[in-house]
Amino acid sequence: MTRRVSRYMVTVLAALALLSVGYLAFGQQVNKSLHPNLAAAQNLIERAIARVSDAQHANEFDMGGHAAKAKDLLSQAYEEIKLAALAANKG
């Protein structure tokens, strides 16, 4: 029973990770032609989130919550980059 629940949790968490990466990739990306450096930074964040997700999967999500926190902080950085681009557009 425990093994079944564990596999279920891994599957659910992996699906959520993929959805969050997809949301970042298609939901709020900075315009590349207006802000190429900010867009490149967002791209690197997307890649970093994907690698952390890979690490979580490889370690069966047993990383003491640190990988999840890292992904949350990366998501916050992604949003701040978007806000920076919006501020630059107003200036």
Give the tens place of pLDDT for each residue, 21-80: 555 444 579 999 999 999 999 999 999 999 999 999 999 999 999 999 999 999 999 999
Between 19 and 13, where is the model more confident? Answer: 13
Q: How far apart are CA 54 and CA 76, in angstroms?
A: 20
Between 9 and 38, where is the model more confident? Answer: 38
Whole-model pTM: value is: 0.70
The per-residue pLDDT for 91 is 79
Between 32 and 1, where is the model more confident? Answer: 32
In angstroms, what CA-CA distances link 56 with 31, 32, 38, 41?
Answer: 30, 30, 27, 23
